[in-house]
Amino acid sequence: MRTKVFEIPNKLVVEYDSAARAIIDTWSTYFVSLEEFKEAILIRGINHAKANNVHAWIVDSHKAKGVFSPEIQKFIASEVFPAFAKIGIKYFMTITSEDAVTRLSVNKYSTEVGPNGMKLLKGSSAEGAVEWLTKNG
């Protein structure tokens, strides 16, 4: 069962899937401010993840456009992934973007997953990621 955790209208929906014990970020655009990003991920998402013993974070960018600013890219590497590891996130899963530029952005920030002790998995749908986690997670 999925419940909405937070939303940046027309940009991002953050949900929690209890069966998979996962947070799912569904992006429609990567054109967000650092403050919006912090509120959605580092505050709302992580607090919900910690309270619910989440072990996976799914980033669904398959319909997203654009790229994260260099400031957000740096923030992901220096703050977000270490925070994920600290609360017990084991899997960071990305859903491939249809947009080539967005796909490059996802690939760039995803390289920081391994050094933080998480396993990077790539998929073609959030539903497939949830199914995999339900069986293997």
The CATH number for 68's domain is 3.30.750.24
| Residue 103, SS3 per DSSP | helix
Range of the domain at 9: 2-136
pLDDT in tens, 122-134: 999 999 999 999 9
pLDDT in tens, 81-125: 999 999 999 999 999 888 888 888 888 888 888 888 999 999 999
Distance CA 22, CA 37 (A): 18
Contact (Cβ atoms closer than 8 angstroms) between residue 105 and residue 77: no
* Number of domains comprising the chain: 1
Of the CA atoms within 13 Å of residue 54, those in its CB half-sphere come to 27
Of the CA atoms within 13 Å of residue 34, those in its CB half-sphere come to 10
